Amino acid sequence: MLTWAHCGDLHVSHEDEYISIPRLETLVREANRYLNDSVGFIFLPGDNANNGVAEQYCRFGDMLSDLTLPVRAIPGDHDFEPGTLDAFYQKW
Going by the DSSP 8-state scheme, the letter that residue 41 receives in this structure is E
CA 70 – CA 92 distance, rounded (Å): 12
- Cβ contact 10:3 at 8 Å: no
More confident residue, 92 or 59: 59
Which CATH number, 1.10.1040.10, 3.30.420.40, 3.60.21.40, 3.40.718.10, labels domain 4-91?
A: 3.60.21.40
Burial class (CB in 10 A: 0-12, 13-18, 19+), 1: exposed
Is the pLDDT at 82 greater than 70, yes or no? no
Domain boundaries, the chain: 4-91
Confidence label for 19 from pLDDT (cuts 50, 70 and 90):
low
Most confident of the following: 12-16, 21-25, 33-37? 33-37
CA 7 – CA 13 distance, rounded (Å): 16
Is the pLDDT at 55 greater than 90, yes or no? no
